[in-house]
Amino acid sequence: MTTASEAAASAGGLLLPVPDEDGAPFWEYAAQGELRVQACAACGRLRFPPRPCCPHCRSFDSEWRRMSGRGRIWSYVRPHPPLLPAYAAQAPYNVILVELADAPHIRLAGNLVTSADAPLDSVDPARLRIGARVHVVFTETGGMAVPRWVLEKS
C-alpha cells in the first residue's frame, strides 16, 4: 500500500487526496476525466461532501451525477509562506472556491491554472475575480487525477 507521504513524494511534494469510503467515487470518476457529484437516488437532491445518507429524505441509496464542469469563482485566497515546502515553492499561489453552474450551492476548492498541468501560480493574480467563469480540467499526479480550473475564454 502506498502511504500518503510516498504518494506526496511522487506528486512533487504536494498533498494528494486520501479518499474515504464516501468520497472514493468522486476520485474514481475524476480518473476518467469526469466531474461527478453525489445525488440521492430517492429524492434526487445533490449533496457535497459525499456522505452515507441523504440529509433531506434519509435514503441510503445514492448515485453520482455528471456535472457540466462549468462554474464561477465564489471566492479565492492567495496563501503566502510559511507553508508546507512544496506549496511554499509555488507561493503565492491561488486557491479558488468554484460554485458549480449546475448546482451553485456546491462549491469545490481548487486552483486556477493556465492549463491542466501548469503550476499553481501560473495565472496572473490580476485575473482572479469573484464571478469569473471557469471550467474543470484534470491533472495526473502521483497516480491520481486531480481537478484544476481554467478561465473560460471570454
Partner 1 sequence: MAATLKDATAIVGIGQTAFAKRLPQSEKELACRAILAALADAGIEPSEVDAFASYTMEETDEVEVAKAIGAGDVTFFSKIGYGGGGSCATVGHLASAVATGQATVGVAWRSRKRGSGPRPWKNTAVQLPTPGQWTRPFGLLRPADEIGMLARRYMHEYGATRDHLFNVAMACRNRANANPAAMMYERPLTREMYMTSRMISDPLCLFDNCLETDGALACVIVSAERARDCRQKPVYVHSVAQGLPAQHHGMVNYWNDDPLSGPAWTAARHLWKQADFGPQDVDVAQIYDAFTPLIPLSLEGYGFCGRGEGAAFTEGGALETGGRLPINTGGGGLSEAYVHGFNLINEGVKQLRGVSTAQVPDAATCLVTAGEGVPTSAILLRS
Residues within the interface to partner 1 (CB under 8 A): 4-5, 8, 14-20, 22-23, 27, 48-49, 55, 74-80, 82-84, 87, 90, 92-93, 95, 97, 105-111, 120, 130, 146
Residue number with CB closer to partner 1 (42 or 91): 91
- The label of the residue with cell 445518507 reads 53
Sign of CA dihedral 13, 18, 23, 27: positive
CA pair distance 154, 132, nearest whole angstrom: 10
Of 124 and 153, nearer to partner 1 (C-beta) is: 124
CA distance 45 to 40: 5
Minimal distance, residue 113 CB to partner 1, in Å:
11
Overall size of the chain counted in residues: 154
Tell me whether residue 22 or residue 63 sits nearer to partner 1 (CB atom): 22
Of 19 and 114, CB closest to partner 1? 19
Amino acid making up residue 101? A
| Closest distance to partner 1 from the beta carbon of 118 (Å) | 14
Minimal distance in Å, beta carbon 97 to partner 1? 6
What CA–CA distance (Å, rounded) separates 109 from 105?
A: 13
| C-alpha to C-alpha distances, 50 to 24, 35, 79, 87, 147, nearest whole angstrom | 9, 13, 27, 27, 17
Which residue lies nearer to partner 1 by CB, 65 or 153?
65
CB of 2 to partner 1, least distance (A): 13
